[in-house]
Chain A
Amino acid sequence: MTNLLEVRDLTKHFTARTNWFGRPVSFVNAVDDVSFDLKAGETLSLVGESGCGKSTTGRLLLRLIDPTAGSIRFEGRDITQLTGTALRDLRREMQLVFQDPYASLNPRMTVGDILAEPLMLHGMVPAGQRKARVEELLGLVGLRASHARRYPHEFSGGQRQRVGIARALAVEPRLIVCDEAVSALDVSVQAQVLNLLKDLQARLGIAMVFIAHDLAVVRHISQRIAVMYLGNIVEIAPTAELFTRPQHPYTRALLSAIPVPQPKAARQRMILTGDVPSPINPPSGCRFHTRCPFATDLCKQTAPAMETTSQGHSVACHHWRELPVAAPLPVEGDSAGAARLARLQARFTETASQS
């Protein structure tokens, strides 16, 4: 199967400070040498704590910001250098769903105008049929046709996020980047929106890059997961594999932080000490060595390369072979998040069938 998206050594440095002459003197290394592939119709999640470069990666993929180095190939075509009209044409293929549904809709446009705009810009639907297509899009995300005449402030957060999803779908893209698309929503609404995304993806065959920090959410929606730390991908694996056999110490720490609904469950917690180092002066060698309980001198000096541990599972750690086997999560296959989501899904289908 060919890859929809091939990302190689993608790097983005933002200027942190400039000297008197406007020359940059220090940089924020937001994203460093990130590489991954994405197949058509697949969902890849990017997880990591705030400031690890997940959102920057998402925006780089869409060419909303320009990479410092590296390449992005979309359907085999290098899109790293596109500008002007060619870049705007690319917008038809890839779209973005924002984190904050309150900030991502223009307050002075009606929902109908917001959804009709991409159709107009890409000449997709003749002017006379746009209204019908807008209503169709609203139906697709579970809103009513009459909502087209309303302004964003007349909607709830969940409804607005549906509008944001409809806007992304309007151009019938091949790839959607969801940047923390549900983290600003109530848990019950999160489940609705997640299911909507999953359902639309299955029906329309859209590939998705899902940026999130909530592992329960990620587990529910993605086929593969990439874990990021300080601008690097430290581990990338199929979802089930990552949850059962996490290799990188950072992944283990993340997984051990998922709450479990059994008060007395015996579990091996791995609690990290210290803060995330500044991306302006990232640590030498392995960027995780300042907080890693297994760090050695090698880690301080040399940055580890990505190594394949098994089919589709790669990790960037010098010592992954020697580390103790990670304790499985106490509620395998029925983690807190999954159970919670299942209940919410049941509730959602209940309310959905009523309305």
Chain B
Amino acid sequence: MSEAVIPAPAAKPATEQSPARRALRRLFRRKGAVVGLVVVLVFVGMALLADVISPYDPIAADWGALRGEPSAEHLFGSDELGRDVLSRVIHGASASLFAGVISVLLALLIGIPVGLLSGYAGGLVDGVIMRFTDAMLAVPFLILAIAMAAFLGPSLTNAMIAIGIAAAPIFVRLTRAQVQAVKVEDYIEAAHAVGNSPLRIALRHILPNIWPALMVQSTLTIASAIIAEASLSFLGLGQQPPEPSWGSMLNTAKDYMSEAPWMAVWPGLSIFLVVLCFNLLGDGLRDAFDPRHRD
């Protein structure tokens, strides 16, 4: 019997891998997530380069091309004032994405500190914060956003503030639940045992460990916030005319559905695509961060 050659065990990867980098690698292995990411990035690029790539000025009226069908000159057609729909969709992307991202950042800014305090302190503080959060969560997200936007007055900035505040309770809840799960871990007790202050434990030990869940929720909430912004603009509470926004474009388009359907199709399709892709990305992130996955 010949001696079998036993292959040497596979060498350890040369670089040390942080948990974040491993999660990223798992993310890139998911088709849906990659498609979502690419489309989102395309829209972000569109929003950033709007002035450069859009063929026309989005608010310049052209009385010679009222409700013009899609053509070589106006690829997506033109609207009731003869403005180029493609240019308006491109510029509308910045309003939508901006509203989505800024309002979620605002929600995080409120939600994380309050949630950390609630979850970490517990007791009476937690009780008071949670009853308040429950009360806010009892009102549907969109209704709350609309009420607040109406109260603050119609403008894109106010719409973002309203959406951000309306979305904050979700993040308070999530942060609190995650903190409660993480704070009983041995490594948090170990952090106490070596002499960390409570504030340092919250920021340096708990926060990095709940980041993944917050990131997933943020991505999914950006999608909801974009829909909320479109709804507010549709109702006239968001982006003010003549500045373009997908929601307000839909509002005007609804009066011309049979004569000029392209006025509604393109902004509607954009909302659909962006929201779908943010959701795909969020799902991908959730899977990538799932601790049960091994690679």
Task: Spell out A's residues near B (CB within 8 Å).
Answer: 62, 64, 88-89, 91-92, 95-96, 98, 100, 103-110, 117-118, 121-122, 149-151, 153-154, 164, 167, 170-171
Q: Closest approach, in angstroms, between the C-beta of B20 and any C-beta of chain A?
A: 8
User: B96-111: contact bitstring with A at CB < 8 Å (1 yes, 0 no)?
Assistant: 0000000000000000
Taking CB as reference atom, which chain B residue is nearest A105? B187
Taking CB as reference atom, which chain A residue is nearest B291? A107
Question: How far is A226 from B238 in the complex, measured between Cα atoms in Å?
Answer: 71
Taking CB as reference atom, which chain B residue is nearest A122? B195
B186 contacts across to A, CB distance below 8 A: 98, 100, 103-104
9 tightest Cβ-Cβ pairs between the two chains A and B: A91-B195, A103-B186, A104-B186, A118-B194, A88-B195, A108-B208, A106-B187, A96-B193, A149-B16
Taking CB as reference atom, which chain B residue is nearest A107? B19
Question: How far is A46 from B81 in the complex, measured between Cα atoms in Å?
Answer: 85
A104 contacts across to B, CB distance below 8 A: 186-187, 189-190
B208 contacts across to A, CB distance below 8 A: 106, 108-109
A96 contacts across to B, CB distance below 8 A: 189-190, 193
Question: How far is A121 from B191 in the complex, measured between Cα atoms in Å?
Answer: 11
With a 10 A CB-CB cut-off, give which of B20, B187, B192 has the most chain A CB atoms.
B187
Evaluate contact between B19 and A98: CB separation under 8 angstroms: no
Known: A98-B186, A103-B185. A153 touches B194 (CB 8 A): no
Q: How many residues of B contact A (CB 8 A)?
A: 21
Known: A149-B16, A153-B19. A91 touches B185 (CB 8 A): no
Known: A108-B209, A117-B196, A121-B196. A167 touches B190 (CB 8 A): yes
Known: A98-B190, A106-B187, A106-B205. A92 touches B16 (CB 8 A): no
Taking CB as reference atom, which chain B residue is nearest A171? B194
Taking CB as reference atom, which chain A residue is nearest B18? A151
Evaluate contact between A117 and B16: CB separation under 8 angstroms: no
Q: Is B2 an interface residue (CB 8 A)?
A: no
Q: Give me 10 other A-B pairs in contact (C-beta within 8 A), A92-B195, A106-B187, A153-B19 excluded.
A: A64-B189, A88-B195, A91-B194, A95-B194, A98-B186, A104-B189, A108-B19, A108-B208, A121-B194, A167-B194
Q: Is B71 an interface residue (CB 8 A)?
A: no
Question: How far is A153 from B17 in the complex, measured between Cα atoms in Å?
Answer: 9
Evaluate contact between A91 and B193: CB separation under 8 angstroms: yes
Sampled A-B contacts (14; CB under 8 Å): A64-B192, A88-B195, A98-B186, A98-B190, A103-B185, A103-B186, A104-B190, A108-B20, A108-B209, A121-B194, A122-B195, A149-B16, A151-B16, A153-B19
Known: A88-B195, A108-B208, A121-B196. A154 touches B190 (CB 8 A): no
A92 contacts across to B, CB distance below 8 A: 195
B185 contacts across to A, CB distance below 8 A: 103
Evaluate contact between A150 and B19: CB separation under 8 angstroms: no
Known: A100-B186, A103-B186, A106-B187. A151 touches B194 (CB 8 A): no
Question: How far is A153 from B192 in the complex, measured between Cα atoms in Å?
Answer: 22
Q: Closest approach, in angstroms, between the C-beta of B202 and any C-beta of chain A?
A: 13
Q: Closest approach, in angstroms, between the C-beta of B242 and any C-beta of chain A?
A: 48
Question: How far is A62 from B19 in the complex, measured between Cα atoms in Å?
Answer: 31
Question: How far is A150 from B194 in the complex, measured between Cα atoms in Å?
Answer: 20
Question: How far is A150 from B190 in the complex, measured between Cα atoms in Å?
Answer: 19
Partner of A88, one of B16, B18, B190, B197: B197
Evaluate contact between A110 and B19: CB separation under 8 angstroms: no
Taking CB as reference atom, which chain B residue is nearest A95? B193
User: B191-220: contact bitstring with A at CB < 8 Å (1 yes, 0 no)?
Assistant: 111111100000001001100000000000
Question: How far is A174 from B16 in the complex, measured between Cα atoms in Å?
Answer: 34
Q: Closest approach, in angstroms, between the C-beta of B70 and any C-beta of chain A?
A: 51
Evaluate contact between A110 and B191: CB separation under 8 angstroms: no
A110 contacts across to B, CB distance below 8 A: 16, 18
Partner of B209, one of A64, A107, A150, A154: A107
